[in-house]
Structure 1
Amino acid sequence: MVSQKDVLVAAAVFVVALISHSEGIMGGTDAVAHSRPYMASIQMPDGENFKHECGGFVIADQWVMTAVHCMPTGPNGRRVVLGVHSLSASEDTKQIFNISELYNHQGYSTYNYDNDIALIKLDRPFNASEAVTVVEFQRAGSAIPGTGTEVQTAGWGSIDNLGTRPDMLKEAVVEVVNPALCKRSDYFGRKFSSNMMCAHKLCQERHCDNIDSCDGDSGGPLLYNGIAVGITSNGGKKCGQRTKPGIYTIISHYTQWIDTTMAPQPDATADQD
């Protein structure tokens, strides 16, 4: 005779399996240590320690690009760690920075995450090394990857819809989804703007997982041929769903804003001489 406890345990196992295989996990693989030296971990205070919250990527000697929705109300004590592979290990390659200035795009929309691009100015320039360097980003006038093109993403975000977080950097190859599809009402509808691209990789076999970015990957890069073309934004409440691929902000739409924001500011004392 099957007990009520056995029934509940079986039901719980079934639910976990359903989440894992129907919704899909991120499906990434461990990155080779420091093979993506532009990656940044944005970390928030957690008691006496810090914990990873969002990703970012280095685009200049004192600048990191990320997403507005990572810090919509300001830094609030967060820090940026470069040269990191393992979040927990005390790696000699790690460089830790305070956030000197945060520039969130003024057009950011909390309704649909439009214009989800932000720039962090670190409190000092980083020390270039094999573990810390810049990545080129796509500028205006360049064509974004077309439908079906393989692109890459990376981060320390959740590897499943249960919120399991990795310690080591993960990476994944995904495919650009036709924007017309992402504009459909059963995908993102009117929330999908011309400043966005969407990408994931659907599993074509039984009992495998769709590949997708997930919670905690936000702010990280989407790369094509080694160039950052997008910023991981928001793809829905669950990751790996067929009709909710990851959404990425198209970086090339913001070239002027990026250049203006990063331009050296005139020395106010010079006008007093």
Structure 2
Amino acid sequence: MAVVLLCSQGPGQWPGSSSSSSSMMAGPSLARLVAAVLLGAALCAAQPGVGTLDVREAQPHARPYMASVQVNGTHRCGGALLSAKWVLSAAHCLDGGAPELPQVLLGAHSLSEPEPSTRLYDVSRAVRHPYSLPDSLEHDLILLQLAEEAALGRAVRPLPWQQEDRELPPGTRCDVAGWTVGTPIGRRPDLLEALLPVLVRSGCNLRALNDERGLVGVTERQICTDLRRRDRCRGRALGDSGSPLVCGGVLEGVVTSRGHLCGDPSGPGISTRVSSYAPWIRSVLEDGAGN
């Protein structure tokens, strides 16, 4: 399932160009071609670590922090268990007028096969970030308080989250997992995983983004990762929004744009940078500690 990215062609060759065709150009046309090649070289040089992107089935229960956020018994989004009573996900996962609070499935690898480790928990409270909006990917976080403490064990365990407000260096390899619908694997919805490189934010903002909510740039409170794949998913990619972006065993981001596990050659993947919201997350968790 590997895919060769644009930059793998080398900074000196623009896709579709050749030395014979460029030698026929002169004057302004040649100048424009040179400028385009130089821009492409700069973008590739500024994005270390970009190479191939593979999606595969995760080892069962190797990510005991994974949560399936469900509405009316159907998987809606991923999430990360922060403590025995709190799950962090993306606020837009509950847009669309869901009449009731969601439920959270913990301890799962498969969403279609019964497993003794799984348990479905009711949610007693959903706390959206106060500045999150349905038509925006900014501040796209929601905290879900479970009605009772989760039974922790080998298949259910909280994930440490980044509380120091810091940027991830470009080229950092992070992983994401989720139960994406319409996967290239084409099997039952078991947990999938992918390794993603962090990209330079300025480079991401120069690439066209293909999101129905009209995202026009990546902010300082977001993380940009590369998604380009040749083997696209069948149909629309759903289900991995809200999933944790994990770097070095620590939660660094929450997936906010669709298609992290399917790939989108027209634009990068966007995750909300958790550390930039650390004060808000801590305040909500502390406020609910006695409930």
What TM-score bracket applies, with the shorter chain setting the length?
A: 0.7 to 0.9
Which 5+ residue runs of structure 2 have no aligned equivalent? 6-52
Change over 3 Å in CA distance of 1:243–1:44 after alignment to 2 = same
Q: Which moved more, 1:240-249 or 1:130-139?
A: 240-249
Tell me how many residue pairs correspond in the alignment.
235
Question: What is the TM-score with the length of structure 1 in the denominator?
Answer: 0.76
Q: Residues 172 and 261 of structure 1: is their aligned pair in 2 closer, same or farther, counting only changes over 3 Å?
A: same
Q: Distance in 1 between matches of 2:132 and 2:228?
A: 30
- The aligned residue for residue 147 of structure 1 is 170
Alignment correspondent of 2:222: 196
Query: Does 2:191 match 1:169?
Result: yes
Judge conservation of contact 2:54–2:195 (CA < 8 Å) in 1: no
- Which residue of the partner structure matches residue 67 of structure 2? 40
Matched, 1:253 2:276: yes
Distance 1:267 1:197 in 2: 33
Give the drift of 1:196: 1.1
Match of 2:208 among 179, 186, 197: 186
- Superposed CA offset, 1:211-254 (max 9, x none): 9x942101110010010100000157995233312110000011
How far apart, in 2, do the equivalents of 1:89 and 1:237 lie? 24
* CA offsets 1:148-190 (integer angstroms, 9 cap, x no match): 22110000013448x9684210001011121102222634774
Select between 164-173 and 256-265 the one with higher mean Cα deviation: 164-173
242, 249, 271: which is aligned to 1:226? 249
Query: SS where residue 253 of structure 1 aligns?
Result: helix
Aligned partner of 1:122 among 124, 137, 146? 146
Residues 126 and 145 of structure 2 are in contact (CA less than 8 Å); yes or no, is this contact kept in structure 1?
Answer: yes
Comparing 235-244 and 74-83, the one that deviates more: 235-244
Q: Distance in 1 between matches of 2:209 and 2:189?
A: 31
Residue 135 (1) aligns with residue 159 (2): yes
Does residue 238 of structure 2 align to residue 215 of structure 1? yes
Partner of 1:31: 58
For each residue in 1:132-155, what CA deviation from the matched residue of structure 2 results, as whole angstroms up to 9, or x when unmatched? 0000011133x3322222110000
Query: Is the 8 Å Cα contact of residues 156 and 165 (structure 1) preserved in structure 2?
Result: no
Query: Which AA in structure 1 matches 2:242?
Result: G
Partners in 1 of 2:167 and 2:54 — Cα distance?
A: 24
Q: Which runs of 5+ in 1 are unaligned?
A: 1-19, 269-273
Say yes or no: does 1:55 pair with 2:78. Answer: yes
Closer/same/farther in 2, CA of residues 62 and 140 from structure 1, 3 Å limit: same
Give % identity. 29
Asked if the contact 1:112–1:191 (Cα under 8 Å) also holds between the matched residues in 2, the reply is no
Q: Aligned pair in 2 of structure 1 residues 267, 153: CA closer, same or farther (>3 Å)?
A: closer
8 Å CA contact 1:27–1:210 kept in 2: the answer is: no
Say which SS state the counterpart of residue 259 (structure 1) adopts. Answer: helix
Task: Please give the root-mean-square deviation of Cα atoms over the aligned residues, in Å.
Answer: 3.2
Which of 124, 144, 150 does residue 100 from structure 1 map onto? 124
Kindly provide the amino acid, as one letter, of the partner of residue 89 in structure 1. E
Q: For the residues of structure 2 that align with 1:137 and 1:75, how far apart are their CA atoms?
A: 30
Q: Which amino acid aligns with 1:108?
A: S
Q: Give the TM-score normalised by the residue count of structure 2.
A: 0.72
Q: Which residue of 2 aligns with 1:10?
A: none
- SS of residue in 2 equivalent to 1:261: helix
